[in-house]
Chains A and B, each alone.
Chain A
Amino acid sequence: MLEPSKKDKITSDLLRSIRLTNSFKAWMAFLTVALIICLGAYVMQLNKGLVVTGLGDYVSWGMYISNFVFFVATSLIGMLISAVLGLSGQKWASPLARMAEIIALAFAAVAGLVIVSDMGRPDRLLNVFIYGRVQSPIVWDITVVTVYVLISTLFLYIPLIPDLKICHDKIEKLHPLARKAYKVLSLNYVGSHEQDLIIKRLTRAIAIFIIPVAFAIHTVTSWLFANTSRVGWDSTIFGPYFITGAFVSGTSAIVIAMYFFRKNYKLEDYITHDHFDKIGKLLVLVSLVYLYFNLNEYMVPGYKMKRFEAFHINALFTGAHAFLFWSVQLFGLVIPIILLIFSKMRKPLPLLIIACCVFVGGWFKRYIIVVPTMEHPYLPIQNVPLNFKVYSPTLIEVLVTFAPMIMVLLIISTLAKIIPIIPIQETIEELEEDASH
């Protein structure tokens, strides 16, 4: 049995972050102002039409769709950390589970909005539900993303119930309404053996169920591209290629989150160097798998150089997109893999820097998947203005692309302010288990 004083210390440590600080207010104010500016850009787009973007009749999907793919990708981290590592008995990852779930929920929920920002007629969004056709991969995508958001919400909420009770009982100086909210949300949890059993079983069931759903969301997202006959997209490995890429982006996202939460919330005792070391190794593993898929995806058409694929491959390897393509492959994948082999590089700060590179590289990787293909249709692009032939995003488009990212930060910051970012109950239980062995 754990000493009560130690229990109290853990509880107070992990609850410490749940209070309004000035720095938090300033951060939220900054995000809100930034979001308003970006939404202003979106209003301009609504008024004038998508002409305010750099898109044209040939490159008709650009930053927004790249962003959508990136968001869906990053949201897969919830499944990887909480479900895959959790179910396979990787106990070290359990303090990271909630963080992963928050990231997953935020990215998945906002991904839907990213798609709306790309629509020419967002006012007709309901048509998808009124006239939805089961043949269209877009309808599949909407279905699975919605399911994933719902399951992710449950996956965050169900294991959170004991902690909500702790929040209700242990936080001092709490607004009565907030205390009431914690009480309602904790669903009369009293810590009885039966209740704990229900929560454990339910969590396990969701953890199992979320794996195929997460695979589905990103596989279907890849099919938006692979189900066309365009060069660069017409690939049978797009499903696993996207899934493995998603693990890379997601893992880099959680490294960034770990670093900042650890630092800002003084969680050094809970998110240790060992966690960074292990998650760094995980990043190497998933990056290696992704590198392997990249090799397949580019080497095979690159070897054959079939006529139309040659336009595409040439543009990527040596042409207009070569700089971005090689930067992404090198700085977003190859160099991080090499660096992370050394244990020194898996310390918090170096790992953060590497993860940022991988994360940004991951975004541009989606851009490289989406845009160059659209610049290389089967028939020549002629009799149209130059900006239809070569895509270059506009400032408005960049701002509208930032809006969802700001929303994600807002959601993560808010959630991390009202619930303990590290599971309290679970941490105590695990320490008790260790002590009893």
Chain B
Amino acid sequence: MVGNEEQPKKRTRREFLQQIGIVGLGSALGGSAILAAFNYDKNKTDSQRIRVLTAQNELHEINHGDLHDVNPQKPVQLTYLQQQGREGLEGKRFVMVIDLSKCQNARKCMAACQNAHHLRPEQHHINVLKMEETENTPPYYMPKPCQHCDNPPCVAVCPVDATFKRQDGIVLIDNERCIGCRFCIAACPYSARIFNWTEPINAQVDKDLEYNVELNVPQKKGTISKCLFSADQVRLGKLPYCVSACPNGVYYFGDENEDAVTNGTTKETFRFKKLLEDNGGYTLMPELGTKPRVYYLPPKGKSVPFKESDKEEAAERLHHT
């Protein structure tokens, strides 16, 4: 008896399912037809060829459809200075060349930098180091700014996009965004980054200034600071603070795209690649794959000898091996 009652029910369900199946199949076919038509249309417009310049400075031609916005979430609520500071200068690829044969440890670069960026005496965006690699190789002075790497480990590890790489090659820090985790300090192999452990030196004076990402002033307690390649100066077409302050012609600064660098002391301009070629230019620790934008010329044929009083500090690390 029970079975009899169930029979008609089952039949209706089967019919119902069949109907659903037909409707479903129909809509699936219809839907895919529309999708195919849409894609066809999209491909037509996307097949336009456009030219793009990569970060490595190579020109490529690609389909317009292959173009993807790598940063679809545009930073929100940024001031004009933050926005401009994040974008950087179009068409430029800034580089620095440091001639170690000229450095006499005058430290005018360090002073100019600390003055411009409102730093304490122990805070260095640029630090002149006393180096000695092995016991039989001579000591030399090595100014060390941020290397503005093209593959910056600090930018990779930053959890909040507070430090970033601009189109002109400069790596900057937004201290309105920084959470002070100091992962970037840990990641940087060049020890280029510093932290505002305490209230910055000019906190009172600077408190009404609008924050300029390209100068990192006012400095803020609990955030990172670092060398900025004087992004505020290069925007004005000037040389960085350290470069213009050097009395000994150590620094060259310029644009890789133009293949031209200008000496901060003599104001002479040289072909960037030629300068490196003629003088055996190199970068610091290339084996780490960071691709620095700061190049060094070796300490060959120094005009002024290494100071006797600095020798002990230069040799300090030799005793540890």
Contact = CB atoms under 8 A, between A and B. Distances in A.
Contacts of A314: 320-321
Contacts of A385: 122
Given A128-B179, A227-B157, A378-B190, A384 B122 contact: yes
A41 to B, nearest CB: 16
A57 interface: yes
Contacts of A49: 196-199, 221-222
Contact of A60 (B128, B156, B195, B223): B195
Interface stretch (A81-89, A117-125, A145-153): A117-125
A138 B317 contact: no
A293 interface: no
A382 B127 contact: yes
A228 B187 contact: yes
A374 interface: yes
A114 to B, nearest CB: 12
Contacts of B190: 378-379
B18 to A, nearest CB: 36
B224 to A, nearest CB: 8
Interface stretch (A129-137, A412-420, A424-432): A129-137
A298 B313 CA distance: 29
Nearest to A227: B157
A314 B319 CA distance: 11
Interface string B163-201: 000000000000001111111011101110111111100
A187 B87 CA distance: 56
Given A55-B197, A228-B153, A378 B183 contact: no
Nearest to A136: B159
B293 interface: no
B197 A383 contact: no
A391 to B, nearest CB: 13
A120 B160 contact: no
B118 interface: no
A384 B121 CA distance: 8
Nearest to B321: A310
A contact residues, range: 35 or more
B179 A57 contact: no
Most chain B CB within a 10 A radius of its CB, from A48, A305, A383: A383
B313 A382 contact: yes
Contacts of A137: 157, 183
A120 B181 contact: yes
Interface residues of B, number: 49
A120 B222 contact: yes
Interface string A303-331: 00101001100110001000000000000
Contacts of A378: 189-191, 285
B145 to A, nearest CB: 12
A229 interface: yes
Contacts of B313: 382
Q: Is the interface of A mostly helix, strand, loop or mixed?
A: loop
Most chain A CB within a 10 A radius of its CB, from B122, B128, B178, B180: B180
Contacts of A384: 122, 124
Most chain A CB within a 10 A radius of its CB, from B127, B129, B185: B185
A230 interface: yes
A56 interface: yes
B288 A60 contact: no
A132 B144 CA distance: 31
B191 A379 contact: yes
A105 interface: no
Interface in B202-225: 221-223
B198 A48 contact: yes
Contacts of A60: 182, 185-186, 195
A377 B186 CA distance: 9
B89 interface: no
A136 B285 CA distance: 23
A380 to B, nearest CB: 6
A138 B181 contact: yes
Contacts of A136: 156-160, 183
B142 to A, nearest CB: 8
A224 B191 CA distance: 17
B277 interface: no
Contact of B321 (A51, A119, A311, A382): A311
Contact of A121 (B127, B179, B186, B189): B179
Contacts of B181: 115, 118-120, 138
B316 interface: yes
A388 B127 CA distance: 14
A379 B198 contact: no
A58 interface: yes
B131 interface: yes
A36 interface: no
28 contacts: A50-B195, A50-B197, A57-B185, A60-B195, A61-B186, A118-B181, A120-B181, A121-B180, A125-B179, A127-B160, A128-B160, A131-B75, A131-B160, A135-B157, A136-B156, A136-B157, A136-B158, A136-B160, A137-B183, A225-B186, A228-B187, A229-B187, A230-B189, A311-B317, A379-B190, A380-B131, A382-B130, A383-B128
Given A50-B222, A121-B223, A380-B316, 6 more contacts: A125-B179, A137-B157, A229-B153, A379-B191, A384-B122, A388-B122
